[in-house]
Amino acid sequence: MKNRLRIYICTFILQIILSIGILTSYIPAEEKVVLLGPGTSCITSSCHTDMGTKKYVHAIGVNAKLCNKCHAIIKEGEHRFKEIPPDVRPLCAQCHSEELPPPADIKGTPPKVISKDEEIKFHAPFAEGKCTECHDAHESDFYKHLKLQYPENFYASFSVEIYSLCYKCHKEMNETLTEPRTLTATRFRNGNLNLHVRHVNKEKGRTCRACHLHHGSKGPALMRETFPFGSRMLTIKYEKTDTGGSCGPACHTQARYDRYAPVYSPIKTSPRPGEDATEEELGLSRERDMQKENEEKNSKNLKTISHEGEKR
């Protein structure tokens, strides 16, 4: 009985608080605009004080005089800015596009990464101009002012944390980097031997950049054609097939992988953990993959059909 009374009283009080909240939200707040005198700095003892203090700084993004390169002021003298669009490429292109020379009033040489080369298949977030999903435009504690951790070098001692940046979106990567044997986690497998794990998950593991480009590449699956090793550029020669692929001879002799008919090349490697899949398991995994592929194809077709419908 006592408990029920308590609940009644509590809900009553909550309702009152809620209605006050709703009522006051209809009273228009007086718009308070901070005024900017001519030549005001954006970083002063009271405004944006901590900008430029992190480990990796994008010089342009913490320069008190150049904020307006990306934050366009709506009305001169007022601290009000146009909204940053979801596609930030036009902002970054001012300095990072192959087509444009960087503005004359900046120091430093911005690396050119935005290209109109039609042969390049861009990483989806890059193509959509979601640069700031990965980079902070101002500064961060991570290499290349990335928003999350990602290793800096060709080799790194493996842990899940150092790849936080990739895991942010690739939730499906659950087992890709950790399960030595799998028939589902990745397409980069020889039978059930997970080749991502073989390359990446080691004391001296290769980081994603050994094989992939982060922004885009001319090959399939963001596979790069060459990679820098010391002062040399080595060729990868990755070729994709319907059921696997091949690679070499930069790091090892030409090696092939096939998801359903594993090919074990005579490369000297550390012992393979776990057990090979049986013929039957491989057969089943092939059927499963085919089915999944067909479903994906069908849903894509359906989408194009409905789009055409819209056009008519």
Residue list 75-94, contact with ligand HEC (CB under 6 A): 84, 88-89, 91-92, 94
Distance CA 131, CA 136 (A): 8
Query: CA 73, 115, 107: angle at the middle one, nearest 5?
Result: 50
Residue 255 touches ligand HEC, criterion: CB under 6 A = no
Which 13-42 residues touch ligand HEC, going by CB under 6 A? 42
Report how many residues bind ligand HEC under the rule CB under 6 A: 80
* Residue 17: CB minimum distance to ligand HEC, A: 30
Among 54, 79, 168, 237, binds ligand HEC (CB under 6 A): 168
Residue 196: which of 219, 166, 227, 241 has the closest Cα?
166
Alpha-helical segments (H) within the chain: 2-26, 89-96, 124-127, 131-134, 164-167, 195-200, 279-311
Residue 224 touches ligand HEC, criterion: CB under 6 A = no
Residue 199 touches ligand HEC, criterion: CB under 6 A = yes
Q: Are 247 and 175 in contact (CB under 8 A)?
A: no
Please say which residue, 8 or 155, places its beta carbon nearer to ligand HEC: 155
Residue 70 touches ligand HEC, criterion: CB under 6 A = yes
Query: CA 95, 104, 51: angle at the middle one, nearest 5?
Result: 60
Stretch of residues binding ligand HEC (CB under 6 A), selected from 22-30, 183-191, 276-284, 300-308: 183-191
Residue 177 touches ligand HEC, criterion: CB under 6 A = yes
Q: What is the 3-state secondary structure (H, E, C) of 222-257?
A: HECCEEEECCEEEECCCEECCCEEEECCCCCCCEEE
Which 94-133 residues touch ligand HEC, going by CB under 6 A? 94-96, 102-103, 106, 108, 110-111, 113-114, 123-126, 129-133
* Residue 265: CB minimum distance to ligand HEC, A: 14
